Structure 1
Amino acid sequence: MKRKTLDIIVGAGLVILAGLLLVAGLVLTSNANFAKNYVKDQLSQQQISFKTADTLTPEEKESACLVKYAGQQLTTGKQAECYANEFIGLHLKSIGGGKTYAQLGDVQTELKTKIAAAQKANPDDPAIADLQKQLTASNTDRETVFKGESLRGMLLTSYGFSEFGTKAEQASLVAYLAAGLLFILGAAGLLHAARTPNSKGFAVPEQAKELVDA
């Protein structure tokens, strides 16, 4: 095979591959922009704002991101992660003894069982009223925890979606750099082919000639 032919094949192949990487980069950029804009639009509609710096409690001030985003409207994935874990997560620990929604359900079941047993044994037992108060408080705590965990879950989902967009943006940058490098190499190969005479082939080393002759 002549050197010029090989240069054309390799150069054209690299240029084509660069074009494919460019297309892949454009697709990744489009996905990244969609994820970023979608997350921003959805979070903006919630109208959630971080507490201002002067209203943060001592516990809240221990969170670097709550201090960083103080007073800002929640519009990004990173902000959603911070609000979900550092703000909602912090306050959920103070509700119902830090128990989860499922664990508070067990508390409710236990209290209902005690109330039923007490009513069966002695309907006038004064302890029943106290158990009822505990059950009412547990119901309130569980409802609050449910709302908090639901909002926290939705915010973390938005954060996860935004991270996919960030990864797509990083991958698109790699694709653009690789496409640029391959295009330069391919163009150099085609330029070399244009300058190479049609009759020029590969030079065969003397040692190879001796082996052939032998």
Structure 2
Amino acid sequence: MKRRTFDKLVSFVGLGLAALLLIFAGLLNFGANFANDSVASQLENQNISFPAEDAMPSETKDQLAKWAGMKVVTGEMARDYSDLYIWEHMKGSAIAVMGKPATYSEVSGVYMGLVRGGSTDVEKIKQYGDLRQTLFMGNTLRGMLLEAYAFGTLGVIAGYAAIASLVGGVLFLLLGIAGLMHIRRTPEDATI
């Protein structure tokens, strides 16, 4: 095979890969911006804010202090609000009624047992009913916030992939151009 033919082949493949990577970079950047903008706008509409530092749960106050008084607008903030604020309140509510942390399904089972079992302890039924409602609402909000966190994380990953694709595309573009420039210096009769 002639060297010039091989150089042309390699150079055009490099330019094709450069074009492909640059297209990927654009699409990944679009995806990253879409994810980040969607998360921010959806969380903005929810109007969820962290409380002042002195109103935060003592168990997670150190981790949440950086967000004190701020509105939840990023995936990371949504995760912290869910796992470090709501979850602590849910555990505290369950401990107050049951003496231990409990899940919605555990509390619901006890509540349904009291109701269906014909319990006459109205105060206990009310406590478990209220706790059941609190845990249900907490789990629902936590699920929505953690979904925003997951979507936001995918946006961040897409952003990094866009940068990597852009760098790769530019590198292949430069190498392809260098290869085409090298063809002019290669003798006609050179072979591989």
TM-score surpassing 0.5?
yes
| Residues 57 and 17 of structure 1, relative CA distance in 2, 3 Å threshold | closer
Determine if the alignment matches structure 1 residue 104 to structure 2 residue 107.
Answer: yes
SS at match of 1:59: coil
**SS of the counterpart of 1:93?**
helix
Is 1:148 paired with 2:146? no
Contact 2:57–2:85, Cα closer than 8 Å, also in 1: no
Most deviating of 181-190 and 42-51: 181-190
Unaligned runs of 5+ in 1: 117-127, 204-214
Q: Secondary structure at the match of 2:118?
A: helix
Normalization by structure 2: what TM-score? 0.91
2:130 and 2:184 map into 1 onto residues whose CA distance is 81
CA drift of 1:55 comes to 3.3
- 1:55–1:155: structure 2 CA closer, same or farther, 3 Å change rule? same
Alpha-carbon RMSD: 1.5
Q: In 2 relative to 1, CA 146–57 (structure 1 residues): closer, same or farther, beyond 3 Å?
A: closer
User: 2:76–2:149: 8 Å Cα contact kept in structure 1?
Assistant: yes
Q: Following TM superposition, by how much is the alpha carbon of 1:90 offset from its aligned partner in structure 2, in angstroms?
A: 0.5
Cα offsets for 1:78-132 (capped at 9, x unmatched): 000000000000110012332211111111122124436xxxxxxxxxxx3xx12
Identical residues among aligned pairs (%): 35
Structure 1 segments of 4 or more deviating over 2 A? 53-60, 112-116, 194-197
Aligned residues: 187
SS at match of 1:202: coil
CA distance in 2, matches of 1:13, 1:56: 58
Residues 115, 132 of structure 1: 8 Å contact kept: no
User: What corresponds to 2:70 in structure 1?
Assistant: 72
* Runs of 5+ consecutive residues of structure 2 not aligned to the other structure: 96-100
Q: Matched residues in 1 for 2:3 and 2:137: separation?
A: 71
Match of 2:98?
none
Q: Report matched runs for 1:44-193 at 5 Å.
A: 44-62=44-62, 64=63, 66-97=64-95, 98-115=101-118, 128=120, 131-193=121-183
CA contact (8 A) 2:26 2:162 kept: yes
- In the alignment, the residues of structure 1 paired with residue 104 and residue 36 of structure 2 have an alpha-carbon distance, to the nearest angstrom, of 31
Contact 2:57 2:88 in 1 (8 A): no
TM-score, with normalisation over the residues of structure 1? Answer: 0.82
Larger Cα Rg: Structure 1 or Structure 2? 1
Q: Kindly provide the amino acid, as one letter, of the partner of residue 87 in structure 2.
A: G
TM-superposed CA distance for 1:164, in Å, is 0.8
Give the match's secondary structure for 1:71.
coil
